[in-house]
Amino acid sequence: MTNDTPDWIRLHKALTIEAEHGFTDLIGKQYRFSEFLSLTFGKFPTALPSIERRCWQELAVKFANYPNLGLEDRQHLVAEARRYLYQLQKEQGEQCGLGVSPSGATAVEQGSKGAEEQRRSYLSKIQPNSKSPIVAEVSRRLAPKIDQKLSDLPEIGIRKADKLAVLRLYTVRDLLFYYPRDHIDYARQVNIRELQAGETVTTVATVKRCNCFTSPKNKKLSILELILKDNTGQIKVSRFWAGTRFTSRAWQESLKRRYPVGSIVAACGLVKGSKYGLTLDNPELEVLANPGDTIESLTIGRVVPIYALTEGVMASMVRQAVIAALPAATHLKDPLPNGLRQKYGLMELKDAIANIHFPDDSATLQVARRRLVFDEFFYLQLGLLQRQQQARAIQTSAILAPKGQLIEKFYKLLPFQLTGAQQRVLNDILNDLQKSVPMNRLVQGDVGSGKTVVAVIAILAAIQSGYQAALMAPTEVLAEQHYRKLVSWFNLLHLPVELLTGSTKTAKRREIHSQLETGELPLLVGTHALIQDTVNFQQLGLVVIDEQHRFGVKQRALLQQKGEQPHVLTMTATPIPRTLALTIHGDMNVSQIDELPPGRQKIQTTLLTGQQRTHAYDLIRREIAQGRQVYVVLPLVEESEKLDLRSAVEEHQKLQESIFPDFQVGLLHGRMSSADKDEAITKFRDNQTQILVSTTVVEVGVDVPNATVMLIENAERFGLSQLHQLRGRVGRGAAQSYCLLMSSSRSPDAQQRLKVLEQSQDGFFISEMDMRFRGPGEVLGTRQSGVPDFTLASLVEDEEVLLLARQAAEKVIEIDATLERWYLMKEELKYRYERLMGGAILT
């Protein structure tokens, strides 16, 4: 370049390449980008007027400091230089003999783009009418390969790739499928007068005043204040920079020069109130040459993707990396056949990937999200149904007789008739047991609906057919409850039954092991102790698992491996919403006992505050005076310094000594020894203690029909499903029962949740509401339950898409369960099981 005529082409090209490579201060053959620009602007053309020479030299100083700038400031500086060169070139164009195109490119540049326009531009192909500068930016790039390492992409490089690896992003595919966790819609452009608090918007206005200064309250904080004005009004906006390097007057003056009075600025952010009226909260800003100019920012004026980040990985870095990877989506082959996509109204995969990251508007985002949510559900259901199909192909299970003397005798022992729902579910089970295909059935039933009786009949079907059965429960309390009930029935049938838990004595344990191996013991009840290596059945035909979601997948599988493809019956008193049942039990048959035995009264449920505690105590005294008993449940065993909650130990002492000294108050919690637990439960069952203070250990397994009051302290600390379970400990007899939810929380959300329990006795409705409030993992109470971690899909919001995905998966399996005719679908299923589910969801 001479001192008379600037080399416009080299300058434009340098700025363009730097932008395309993510503002990384690229190293050229001789200089770094910043060095080249600093040297170039350091020698101003003699033909320039003096006022332009000053601006020219200021750019030289700014680019000398370019290596010290953050990504956002580098973007601003490059954009500023490009706009300045365009305006200057426009003014000098005729003298220099260089025509300038409307886009700001020289005639030489226009010609050099011919080859690039022949490239297969992904986004320009799928969004031909899009005016998005992101589309234009991506469309200029050669598409990387799907499996290409991120470090190989020039826009990312080794240093950035190492940081992205912390997010487990290693390849281009990883980036494409790294969906945003949320989006902020800045696409709506409004006038200042139309701003409303709580909205996210973009506004374009003129700078009326600009000031940059150090905060008087914090000497390490710089503040930029702009007064922006359009023809409808004006607002004051502020941006903040923390750090001593931003407090120098030179830096602050350079920032002020970026937003001169009279310049056009696009600003986006969350509208919020301030003492000066409405403002934009720490907005993104971009200077425009003209009011109608295209906004180049990755955030301003568009729907902005919000990614999950970690320390050292900035949002701008992930967005720039995604833009670098997006052209590779052209290589994605859609595993879903065109006919299936059309039937369910699904966007093509490559379009959905582009629009989940950088959609033109919210409507397009929703269409893209729907497709990707469908995929998450579809491959899950496909895997579950394929597994179910494979299980049905196994023909080695025992065929158990649905009729026989044992079952007939048991029917005669029962002092009641089975309800219609119990009989319907029992028929489902007995039909399964007559097949050589292993049964895999889940029985759902509310507390007190009679699931155990149904399970006992299934167990008797196995025993009278010459096989053994096992019943596994998650806690010793529940296992002992089942054991006691079974002993009372099995003694009358002259059948032995034993209990095996962690507390079983060594001699008794050896005796049980021996009787199992010889076949003398037809039924064993227990906890996790059943899956120990030393437990061996002679011929296990049926496995019954109670509250099965409390066991891990491997634990359930270990018990099944104790026999030769035994039938499996699982039970739960925690009603599971339909979407959740489809997700974690999609390979099982599900039956519901949706009818309570006759004579059961609704439990009167009341929400009380701390000030109403005397009402609760009065009710307790009245009930005990009539010979009834009471539960008092607390969330903690001992007082916590961090949580201001009533502890079970302290509450027990207080109730016994101060509140109810005339009654016997017992204590039960999980830290007690098995012997102490047994003693506490036995005393309560025998009415030796009238009040039992307990933690949630009584949630399942304690059955005392004489108990009529359940007082739950700090009820807001429990989930609705758990509260419903606790409530089910009363109302098991003929007397009117009461559940008192004690809560001092003033949170509207907590009050709204607890009122659901106050107004409904329907366990399935309560579980649906619980899932809406807390999410599926919390409803089941354990991450062992196998709920997959969906990236986009929500079991609460996307039920309609889940049902469609299930329907589509059923149709595919019906046509070809092996998926041989859909090779891409088969490969995608394998990939997703390895990455998303890992087989852990399979029951």
pLDDT at 241: 84
| Nearest of 514, 569, 504, 520 to residue 541 by alpha carbon | 569
User: Cβ neighbours of residue 66 under 8 Å, at least 6 residues apart?
Assistant: 25, 33, 34, 37, 38, 74, 77
| Residue 99: predicted pLDDT | 35
Average the pLDDT over 322-342 and give the result.
Answer: 90
What confidence tens digit (pLDDT) does each residue in 380-405 have? 888 888 887 877 777 667 788 778 88
Number of neighbours of residue 652 by Cβ within 10 angstroms: 21
Q: What distance in Å separates the CA atoms of residue 653 and residue 481, rounded to the nearest whole number?
A: 27
Q: Are 443 and 587 in contact (CB under 8 A)?
A: no
DSSP state of 663: S
Lowest mean pLDDT: which of 60-64, 191-195, 222-226, 622-626? Answer: 60-64
Mean pLDDT lowest among 139-153, 287-301, 707-721: 287-301
Residue 698 in this model has a pLDDT that exceeds 80: no
Q: What is the pLDDT of residues 414-473, one digit of tens each?
A: 888 888 889 999 999 999 898 888 888 888 887 777 888 999 999 999 999 999 999 988
Instruction: Report how far apart, in Å, the C-alpha atoms of 440 and of each of 113, 161, 392, 413, 560 are.
Output: 63, 46, 10, 28, 11
Model confidence at 296, pLDDT cuts 50, 70, 90, reads low
Q: Give the residue-averaged pLDDT of 673-692.
A: 88
Long-range contacts formed by 157-166: CB under 8 A, 24+ apart: 157/24, 160/22, 160/24, 160/317, 160/321, 163/312, 163/313, 163/317, 164/313, 164/317, 164/318, 164/321, 166/310, 166/312, 166/313
Check residue 164 and give its pLDDT: 92
Is pLDDT at 29 greater than 90 in this prediction?
no
The pLDDT value recorded for residue 840 is: 44
What's the rounded Cα separation, in Å, for the pair 502 and 675? 12
Cα separation of the two ends of the chain: 72
Q: Where are the beta strands (DSSP E) in 312-354?
A: none
What is the per-residue pLDDT across 160-180, written as a single tens digit (0 to 9) for each?
999 999 999 999 999 999 998
Segment 762-786, tens digit of pLDDT: 777 887 787 777 666 555 554 444 5
Q: What's the confidence (pLDDT) of residue 468? A: 92
Determine the Cα–Cα distance for residues 611 and 673; give it in Å rounded to an integer: 36
Q: Report the CATH number of the 405-434+450-572 domain.
A: 3.40.50.300
Average pLDDT on 627-646 reads: 73
Just give the CATH number of 604-760: 3.40.50.300
Residue 49's Cβ-side half-sphere holds a number of Cα atoms within 13 Å equal to 5
Q: What is the pLDDT of residues 119-136, one digit of tens each?
A: 333 334 334 334 455 555
Position 387 scores a pLDDT of 80
CATH no., domain 183-306: 2.40.50.140
Question: Identical fold at 183-306 and 604-760?
Answer: no
Cross-strand partners of 469: 523, 542
Q: Rounded to an integer, what distance in angstroms lies between the CA atom of residue 127 and that of residue 113?
A: 20
Residue of 524, 530, 537 lying closest to 551 (CA atoms): 530
pTM of the full predicted structure? 0.60
Residue 338 burial (10 A CB sphere; 0-12, 13-18, 19+): exposed
The three-class DSSP label of residue 587 is coil
| Residue 841: pLDDT band with limits 50, 70, 90 | very low
Mean pLDDT on 548-573: 76
Strands (E), 51-158: none
Q: For 226-255, what is the mean pLDDT?
A: 87
Quick one: pLDDT at residue 486?
Answer: 92
Percent of the chain with pLDDT over 90: 24
Lowest mean pLDDT, pick from 19-23, 56-60, 183-187: 183-187
Segment 219-231, tens digit of pLDDT = 888 889 999 998 8
Q: How confident is the model at residue 579 (pLDDT cuts 50, 70, 90)?
A: low
Answer whether 373's CB lies under 8 Å from 827's CB: no
Among 78-82, 241-245, 812-816, the range of highest mean pLDDT? 812-816
For 271, phi then psi, to 5°, come to -80, 130
Domain boundaries, given as residue ranges, for the chain: 8-112, 121-175+309-327, 183-306, 405-434+450-572, 604-760
Categorize the per-residue pLDDT at 118 as very low, low, confident or very high, splitting at 50, 70 and 90: very low
User: Does 410 score more than 60 pLDDT?
Assistant: yes
Q: What band does 91 get if pLDDT is binned at 50, 70 and 90?
A: low
Q: Is the pLDDT of residue 378 over 90?
A: yes
Check whether 631 has a pLDDT greater than 90. yes
Location of structure tokens 């833009």: 323
Average confidence score pLDDT of the chain: 80
- Whether the per-residue pLDDT at 842 is higher than 50: the answer is no
| pLDDT tens digits for range 477-514 | 888 888 988 999 999 999 999 999 888 898 999 999 99
The predicted pLDDT at position 638 comes to 61
